Chain A
Amino acid sequence: MSKVAIIGGGIIGVATAYELAKLGEEVILFEKNYFGSGSTFRCATGIRAQFTDEANIRLMKYSVERWERLEEELGFDINFKQTGYLFLATNEEEVEAFKNNIKLQNKFGVPTRLIDMDEAKEIVPILNTEPFLAGAWNPKDGKANPFKTLFAYLFRAREMGVDAREYTEVVGLEHEGDTVTAVKFRNGGKIESVKVDAVINAANAWAPSINAMAGLRRDIVPIKPYKHQLVKTEPLEPGQAEPLVCPPSWNDSYIIQDGEDGGIICGSGIEHEPKHPWDYEPTYDFLVGVLRYAVRIAPPLKHAHVVRQWAGFYAKTPDKNPAIGKLLDNFYIAAGFSGHGFMMAPAVAEALADLVSKGHTKVPLDWDWYDPYRFERGELRSSAFQIG
């Protein structure tokens, strides 16, 4: 048994802690604020396998299969619902692009199909069908409650002995050559240190500073945070817009009905560079901008009240694919999720724990594709299909 330190208590760090404990490893997990406080508790809850490249489609197909069994495995209600994703085309070229994506998704077993606007209207009763020609519909995509999912993993991890510490910031790593030997962290006013056999950087938007602590160049994995926001309305009748509905050509704007309380979550590709590493200040331009799109997608939203607006970070890499794998002998990274870390967590956590503990995995994760050194080598992937 070796001792593995995980830095970052978002969904990736917490789920990886659980998977490592399942494999019998001793785990110490550090979160500098409260668990989920980074991007995880700010996400839009969406889970989809509708990507446009083989690596992300196969990874997400597997992840969705894990999501399907997660509630039972973790023994906790996480409110996972397969309510689908519906992408909408506004012109003929987009319809053609949808057809190609669907072909690729079908090839790997993802059951997306092209639907007409009558069927779309049945699926989303408040939809304005008029601007759209066709939809790409995968009924197996869905959503889950990020709060409950994180806690479900956390509770089980703790039961298996994971030492999970919140309000505990990692401030340094000790290393000898390419081996990290100890983690230094703040405990109240004091700096303490713990010897470890391996370290995982799961700090997502803040991952570059952890890489620097390991003696690597800060931008060896060039992750940059972008502020993305969401607006939520008061609850509507269930069933009005259960799937995530998104016309990609409308600045990636989308709506999705919260599986928990029925409010409509509205997102958009209106993004901002944060003013500082904790800039969660909501902006008025987003509020108005996102709602203009939302009422065009679903006109009845005009009459709803907005009850919340919040911001979080997309931790983006230059090709919007995450960096997953080994950076040094015993130093690993899973970060830069560019807006997809919640949906990918079940698959990524399992694959990463396997890699650290056993050196191999059955999870269909393409290590080359997500290689953290690809940026260094100037080998960008095709951009992962990102929305909002």
Chain B
Amino acid sequence: MSGNMIVCRCNDVTVEEIEALIDEGVTDIEELKRLLRIGMGPCQGRTCIPLVLSILARRTGKSPDEIPVPRARVPVRPVRVEVLVGGGDE
């Protein structure tokens, strides 16, 4: 993977940015997620988290199974506010 390849398309995060933080000692996926906002875009990480896991595994020499996967957050798909508040014409 080349350094400026984008891993998280929702939030524009590159391989280089992820590797730089891993080298600073941030090897927890929850921390990488929060510092770089990977997995926090509209797709909620469905695209990027698997890629980040593989970068992390490679860089830290762990097997991907040893790395805990971040918990998905509800809702599973983005929902329109007016659907939830029932028209919302208050």
Contacts and interface: CB of A to CB of B under 8 A. Distances in A.
Interface of A: 34-37, 41, 147-148, 151, 155, 158, 166, 233-234, 260-261, 282, 287-288, 291-292, 294-296, 299, 301-310
9 contacts: A147-B31, A147-B35, A234-B42, A261-B37, A295-B85, A299-B88, A304-B80, A306-B80, A307-B78
Q: Name the interface size band of chain B.
A: 20 to 34
B23 interface: no
A292 B90 contact: yes
A126 B35 CA distance: 29
B46 to A, nearest CB: 12
Most buried by A among B37, B81, B84, B90: B81
B81 A310 contact: no
Contact of B81 (A35, A148, A166, A295): A295
B78 to A, nearest CB: 4
Contacts of B88: 292, 295, 299, 302
A308 to B, nearest CB: 5
Interface of B: 11, 24-26, 28, 30-31, 34-35, 37, 40, 42, 44, 73-75, 78-82, 84-85, 88, 90
A212 to B, nearest CB: 28
A108 B17 CA distance: 44
A308 B34 contact: no
Contacts of A292: 85, 88, 90
B68 to A, nearest CB: 10
A127 to B, nearest CB: 15
Nearest to A301: B81
Contacts of A166: 28
Contacts of B80: 302-306
Contacts of A287: 84
Contacts of A155: 24
Give me the 3 closest cross-chain CB pairs, A-B, nearest first. A305-B78, A147-B34, A302-B88
Contacts of B82: 295, 302-303
Given A234-B78, A305-B78, A310-B73, A291 B85 contact: yes
Contacts of A37: 30
